[in-house]
């Protein structure tokens, strides 16, 4: 592990610890993400995957350790400052606003840099959203809400996307569509950290996998070696 300010990694998390009140949920998370990569955090329920994303975003109430983005330490910053640097989150609960229509939800996150997708390109990727742009956000189907939650962070110019279980509870055909979207986003140059339970889906989109257990990263498996490590992975995930 290097302690230089910049070593080519877009995101470098070292010894990240986190607490909700008295409850110590992250015990030292270490991982790196290189520009243009899709990296997953795999692990059982309650392993600390979502908390890791919240810790990176600055939402976790108390955190220690180091999170460097583009070489800059961001552990002490407010979520809105972190967002302004170019990190965007798509939360597990999707966070679609009921009092906003689809278009308002889509346009809500402010642009923080150039290079985000145009609204036309977003509607290309998600034609359903265009048809339903005047509907109340929470009147959409679960799959459409998930697409909206992803779509709205693509406009902003954020380079690093944190996607928390985008396939959870969705029909296979929608999961496939989200898989294609993630592949398309990788082609557009986005860097993605994906929290997943569905590792078959994870294997279809990711470059590398980090295994999280009890608030620590316990292993890293390149996607190419996934087949060879299947037994180990099954043991980790308890499936």
Residues that bind another protein (CB under 8 A): 57-59, 78-80, 82-84, 88-89, 91, 95, 97-100, 104, 107-110, 112, 153, 156
The angle that helices 172-187 and 142-151 make with each other, rounded to 10 degrees, is 10
- For another protein, the closer CB: 89 or 178: 89
Q: How far is the CB of 163 from another protein (least distance, A)?
A: 14
In Å, what is the CA distance from 229 to each residue of 58, 76, 213, 222, 224? 33, 37, 17, 10, 10
By beta-carbon proximity to another protein, the closer residue of 47 and 82 is 82
Positive or negative CA dihedral for 226, 227, 232, 233? positive
Task: State in angstroms the smallest separation of the CB of 24 from another protein.
Answer: 21
Give the residue among 39, 22, 20 at the shortest CA–CA distance from 31.
Answer: 39
Choice between 100 and 119, CB closer to another protein: 100
Nearest-approach distance from CB 135 to another protein, in angstroms: 15
**Shortest gap between Cβ of 5 and another protein (angstroms)?**
24
Given the complex with another protein, which of 137 and 143 has the nearer CB atom?
A: 137
Q: Do residues 73 and 11 lie in contact, with contact meaning Cβ atoms separated by under 8 Å?
A: no
């Amino acid at each position: 592990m290097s302690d230089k300010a910049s070593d080519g990694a877009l995101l470098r998390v070292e010894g990240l610890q986190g607490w909700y009140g008295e409850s110590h949920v992250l015990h030292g998370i270490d991982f790196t993400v290189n520009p243009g990569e899709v990296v997953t955090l795999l692990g059982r329920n309650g392993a600390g995957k979502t908390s890791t994303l919240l810790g990176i975003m600055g939402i976790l109430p108390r955190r220690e350790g180091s999170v460097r983005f583009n070489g800059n330490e961001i552990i002490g910053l407010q979520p809105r400052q972190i967002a302004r640097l170019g990190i965007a989150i798509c939360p597990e609960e999707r966070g679609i606003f009921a009092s906003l229509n689809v278009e308002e939800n889509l346009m809500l996150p402010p642009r923080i840099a150039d290079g985000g997708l145009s609204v036309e390109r977003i509607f290309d990727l998600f034609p359903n959203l265009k048809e339903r742009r005047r509907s109340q956000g929470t009147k959409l189907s679960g799959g459409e809400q998930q697409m909206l939650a992803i779509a709205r962070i693509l406009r902003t110019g954020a380079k690093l996307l944190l996607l928390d279980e985008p396939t959870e509870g969705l029909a296979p055909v929608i999961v496939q569509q989200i898989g294609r979207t993630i592949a398309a986003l990788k082609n557009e140059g986005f860097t993605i950290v994906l929290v997943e339970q569905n590792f078959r889906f994870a294997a279809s989109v990711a470059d590398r996998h980090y295994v999280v257990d009890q608030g620590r990263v316990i292993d890293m498996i390149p996607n190419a070696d996934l087949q060879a490590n299947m037994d180990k992975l099954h043991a980790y995930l308890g499936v």
